[in-house]
Structure 1
């Protein structure tokens, strides 16, 4: 298993973001992840991303990398 933040790789995080309309705020991204059935660990990673507007999925991946 690929390990990343919280045991989840960035690819696992973005898997739960299908259907996200960009630009999107962190709150928008969290809501989309919830709607796509993300577990608590994925949601925690999203909540720890910088609170800003994300322009595209590549920008989200950058935010995942910046999550504490």
Structure 2
């Protein structure tokens, strides 16, 4: 499954920022996100995110590598 930014955004819907990577993973699991999406979150380079935009930027950088 190819993960899109929209998939990622949907997976973390409802989380309060700032948030840690572990909190993002927990929220994705609470939202019944696919294991592939959870794995993408775990692979994000940063440990703490100030906003959903920051998550999207980190996802974009990771996807380009």
Task: State the TM-score, normalizing by the size of structure 2.
Answer: 0.86
Q: Runs of 4+ in structure 1 displaced over 6 angstroms?
A: none
Conserved? CA contact 2:18–2:51, under 8 Å: yes
Partner of 1:54: 49
TM-score, with structure 1 as normaliser: 0.83
Structure 1 portions without partners, runs of 5+:
1-5
In the TM superposition, what is the alpha-carbon distance from 1:51 to its structure 2 partner?
3.5
Q: Secondary structure at the match of 1:7?
A: coil
> What value does the CA root-mean-square deviation take over the aligned residues?
1.4
* Cα separation, 2, equivalents of 1:28 and 1:66: 20
* Structure with the largest fraction of helix: 2
Aligned residues: 63
